[in-house]
Amino acid sequence: MSLREHALSLFRSAVGTVRPAPMLKRALKLQGEECPQLLVNSRAFPLKRDLYLVGFGKAVLGMAAAAEEILGDHLVRGIINVPLGIQESLQRAGMQEMLLKPHSRIQVIEGAKNNLPDPEALRGASAIQELAEGLTADDLLLVLISGGGSALLPAPIPPILLEEKEKLTKMLASRGAAIQELNAVRKILSLLKGGGLARLAYPAQVVSLILSDVIGDPLDIIASGPTAASSHSIQDCLQILAKYNLLHGLPSSVEAVLSSSPPKPTAAEDYSHVCNVIIGSNTLALAEAKRHAESLGYATLILSAAVCGDVGRVAVLYCQLICLLCLHLASLGEGPRGSEVKGNLLQLAAELDIPGLNMAEFLQALQGMEPQKPVCILAGGETTVQLQGTGKGGRNQELALRVGLGLHRARGVEASSLGRCDVIFLSGGTDGQDGPTDAAGAFCSPELVAEALREGLDAEIFLSNNDSYAFFSHFQRGRHLLVTGLTGTNVMDIQVILIRATDRS
Ligand SMILES: Nc1ncnc2c1ncn2[C@@H]1O[C@H](COP(=O)(O)OP(=O)(O)OP(=O)(O)O)[C@@H](O)[C@H]1O
Ligand SMILES: O=C(O)[C@H](O)CO
């Protein structure tokens, strides 16, 4: 198998492990006939009670189908809110296993066109609210949550209107608010977000199974934490609105809610009837890819599952890392050039401030790797692209092209090391869709940009117009695009770097 085939296989194994069916089967089990119990990550919940299910998010249809299969007749009733058109898309893609069976006890409501709350999503949220409010101490509510859940569970606190809340969220997003900031505001203005759903379901036992699409897997931010204690106060919300210059000119309904909200969020003790479990995440996906890479014979390290920041700076980080790995394989890592590159990496890591990444420790681990083995570095997260052009692309294709360009430029300086290695870099969105394109991401190598130039394609020109998809589609007829189709899951993006020494020395 070529490096490229290996990279593709690693990406597929990472995504495969966080697909709804395997994920649910790992997390949720039924045990016992006489006194049945629901086992959630080994915690037991007796099923003397009636079992209900609600869910909201882009991956929830497949999660619900898998859950219903496990729960069988124990499930009394369910309601899920999923993106508009998802049933038809999955049907067309031949992904029957992600659809509910014809006589399912789970009602499906589709809404939130273009990932924005709309009257359909509001209708679904009201149905979920009604179900939760009607539960008793004898009931158990299973909640399925995935990314996109915020738009699919809109329940503005009266007198705020849906349009008013949508406009505010849109303005925050267009002014560059991060998902943590956006959802901190959403929580304060919503009945169901920020733990609201769990509070309404009390005294029923609530068990939430969560697929994380946020860096660091924060329970109270993913889908705006409808079953988690919120760590945000009204003061945080006001500060965020002030930061984005939105404090003045708020609709009077929003002002009314802000001024009547309790200053502090509900205390964590009030969620003792809730069990929140992350069942899928970028970290889990990377761990599976690592196992697979090791079985293929690679010395493997995970850089981080929280790589974030400007796509251009992240590309520089990956280029420097690849250069260092090539120096290592050429036994030049401890020389003056190696020290220089390590210094650059430490500086870049400090600048990007990637949560939880200790670059010094990572470099130490890298130094300890056997130089005879091919190397695999895995990473994940979500970069930011500041759109400047009018082209078509996505974060992953832009990142791959930028890494390709960086390696092309480095080839002159690093000929003695880069020239002696085969290198492949892959970046892909785990949902199978990178931006508004039909690709999940792209591959690149140090040779890519020079080869494209020979075909008359200048990567720099495409990048200046954020046109990475056009570049990859034209170059060698799309050979370097990563095309997987919709995967039915989403744990952000994944990067794979594979390097092995060649015999060209
Ligand atoms: N032409 C482009 N070039 C590069 N990136 C782009 C381009 N157009 C859109 N994007 C990026 O694509 C992202 C939106 O695409 P996408 O729907 O894959 O991500 P998302 O909104 O984070 O959803 P999800 O989390 O489900 O993947 C935005 O981050 C945006 O900056
Ligand atoms: O729904 C949301 O809020 C985002 O996808 C983050 O989870």
* ipTM of this complex: 0.95
pLDDT 10s digits, 448-463: 999 999 999 999 999 9
Q: What is the mean pLDDT of the chain?
A: 94
Q: Enter the DSSP assignment of 113.
A: G
Joined tokens for residue 282: 């970028």
What's the pLDDT score for residue 503?
Answer: 64
3-state helix, strand, coil in the chain (%, to 5): 45, 20, 35
Quote the ligand 1 centre to 442 CA distance (angstroms). Answer: 14
254 with 166: CB under 8 angstroms? no
pLDDT at residue 240 is higher than 80: yes
pLDDT band, very low/low/confident/very high, at 505 (cuts 50, 70, 90): very low
Q: Enter the DSSP assignment of 89.
A: H
For 439, phi and psi rounded to 5 degrees?
-105, 155
Domain 283-501 class, CATH top level: alpha beta
| % of the chain surpassing 70 pLDDT | 99
Q: Enter the DSSP assignment of 223.
A: G
Q: Indicate the pairing of strand 375-384 with strand 421-429.
A: unpaired
Q: State which ligand 1 atom lies nearest to the alpha carbon of 433.
A: 18
pLDDT 10s digits, 331-389: 888 889 999 999 999 999 999 999 999 999 999 999 998 878 999 999 999 999 988 99
Cα–Cα distance measured from residue 27 to residue 403, given in angstroms and rounded to the nearest whole number: 37
| Residue 490 Cβ < 6 Å to ligand 1 | yes
Cα–Cα distance measured from residue 500 to residue 502, given in angstroms and rounded to the nearest whole number: 6
* Length in residues, the chain: 505
Q: What is the DSSP secondary-structure string of 132-186?
A: HHT--TTEEEEEEE-TTHHHHS--BPTT--HHHHHHHHHHHHHTT--HHHHHHHH
Query: Which residues, including other chains, have CB under 8 Å from residue 96's CB and lie 6 or more apart?
Result: 90
Q: State which ligand 2 atom lies nearest to the alpha carbon of 183.
A: 3
Residue 121: left if φ>0, alpha if ψ -120 to 50, beta else—which one?
A: alpha
β-pair partners for 53: 78, 142
Q: What is the DSSP secondary-structure string of 376-411?
A: EEEEEEEEE----SS----HHHHHHHHHHHHHHHHH
Cα–Cα distance measured from residue 108 to residue 441, given in angstroms and rounded to the nearest whole number: 30
What's the pLDDT score for residue 468?
Answer: 98
Q: Enter the DSSP assignment of 112.
A: -
Quote the ligand 1 centre to 327 CA distance (angstroms). Answer: 34
pLDDT 10s digits, 247-296: 998 999 999 999 998 877 777 778 999 999 999 999 999 999 999 999 99
What's the pLDDT score for residue 403?
Answer: 98
132 with 168: CB under 8 angstroms? no
What's the pLDDT score for residue 24?
Answer: 97
143 with 79: CB under 8 angstroms? no
pLDDT 10s digits, 132-163: 999 999 999 999 999 999 999 999 999 999 99
45 with 134: CB under 8 angstroms? no
Residue for token digits 């929280």? 306
Residue in 257, 261, 256, 237 with CA at minimum distance from that of residue 247:
237
Cα–Cα distance measured from residue 493 to residue 427, given in angstroms and rounded to the nearest whole number: 7
Mean pLDDT calculated for residue range 423-437: 95
pLDDT 10s digits, 171-199: 998 898 999 999 999 999 999 999 999 99
Under DSSP, is residue 262 helix (H, G, I), strand (E, B) or coil? coil
| Residue 493 Cβ < 6 Å to ligand 1 | no
Mean pLDDT calculated for residue range 44-51: 86
Among protein residues, the one with the nearest Cα to ligand 1's atom 14 is 435
Q: State which ligand 1 atom lies nearest to the alpha carbon of 493.
A: 27
Joined tokens for residue 429: 């969105």
Q: In what order do the strands lie in the sheet with 43-46?
A: 28-31, 37-40, 43-46
Which residue did the predictor score with more confidence, 420 or 241?
241
| Residue 391 Cβ < 6 Å to ligand 1 | yes
Query: Which residues, including other chains, have CB under 8 Å from residue 413's CB and lie 6 or more apart?
Result: none
